[in-house]
Amino acid sequence: MKPFAAEFMGTFWLVLGGCGSAVLAAAFPNVGIGLLGVALAFGLTVLTMAYAIGHISGCHLNPAVTIGLWAGGRFPASGVLPYMVAQVLGGIAAAAVLYVIASGQAGFDLAAGFASNGYGEHSPGGYSMLAALVCEVVMTGFFLFVIMGATDSRAPAGFAPIAIGLCLTLIHLISIPVTNTSVNPARSTGVAFFVGDWALGQLWLFWVAPIVGAILGALAYRAIATKA
C-alpha cells in the first residue's frame, strides 16, 4: 500500500499547490503571481514530490503518466488501475481542502471556475474544442517524452526531478491560455468534482487527450531511444 499512499499524497500536493496558486494567489491584490507564478507552482509541486516520493512510487501523480509509462515499458500493467485510483482520490481530497480555504473569503464563487480546465467559452482565451484537444495531446506527449528521457538509465543521475518539474512549468506557460492546462486527468477531476455543471461536461477531453498524448509520447521515446 505504500506506493499507492505515496501517489495519493503526491497528487494531493500537486492539486493543492498548483490549483491553489491559481485560485488563491494568481490575482491577489498588488502581489498576484499571475500566469508565470501558477506555471512555476505546478512545476515546483512535481519537483519537490519527485525528490520526496520518487523512490517510493516513482512519483507519477497523474493517470496519463502512469498509462504512458506502462505503454513505454516502464511500469507493470497490474499497477495501472490502483495508481490511477490513488491519484484521482488525492486530487479530489486536495480540491476539497482548497474549497474549504477558498470559500472562507467573502464573495467566493465556484462559477469563477475554481481552476477547472475547459474549452470554448470556458477556455481562458476562448480556444475551440479542437485547439484544446490538440494542445493537450501534444503537451502531454512531450511531457512523457521528457519523463522517459530524464529517467532513462543512461541519463545523468539525480537530475530527473528538475527536468520534469521545469518541463511541466514550460507546458503551463504555453497552454494556460488554451485550456488552463490539464495534462493530468486527476488534476482536472479534482476541481471539476466541485464545480460540476460545465466542468464535468467537458471533463472527457481532459481524460482522453492526456492519455492519448502520453501513450504517443512514450512510444515515440521508446522508438528513438531503444538500441538496435
List Cβ neighbours of 113 (8 Å cut-off, separation of 6 or more): 122, 180, 195, 199
Q: Mind listing the domains of the chain with CATH numbers?
A: 1-227 (1.20.1080.10)
pLDDT tens for the chain, 228 residues long, are: 899 999 999 999 999 999 999 999 887 666 678 889 999 999 999 999 999 999 999 999 999 999 999 999 999 999 999 999 999 999 999 999 999 999 998 888 888 889 999 999 999 999 999 999 999 999 999 999 999 999 998 988 889 999 999 999 999 999 999 999 999 999 999 999 999 999 999 999 999 999 999 999 999 999 998 775
Cell numbers representing residue 182 in the block: 490539464
Residue 129 neighbours by CB distance under 10 Å: 13
Using DSSP, state whether 178 is helix, strand or coil. Answer: helix
CB of 185 within 8 A of CB of 92? no
Cell numbers representing residue 102 in the block: 477558498
CB of 50 within 8 A of CB of 168? no
The conformation of residue 124, written as its DSSP 8-state character, comes to T
**pLDDT value, residue 111:** 84
Residue-wise pLDDT tens digits, 151-210: 998 988 889 999 999 999 999 999 999 999 999 999 999 999 999 999 999 999 999 999
Cell numbers representing residue 168 in the block: 511541466
Angstrom distance (rounded) from CA 181 to CA 194: 18
Residue 157 has phi, psi (to 5 degrees) of: -70, 140
The conformation of residue 156, written as its DSSP 8-state character, comes to P
The candidate with the shortest Cα–Cα distance to 142, out of 181, 195, 89, is: 181
The candidate with the shortest Cα–Cα distance to 117, out of 19, 43, 14, is: 19
**pLDDT value, residue 131:** 97
Residue 198 neighbours by CB distance under 10 Å: 16
Radius of gyration, alpha carbons of the chain: 17
Angle separating helix axes 129-150 and 160-179, nearest 10 degrees: 180
Residue 166 neighbours by CB distance under 10 Å: 17
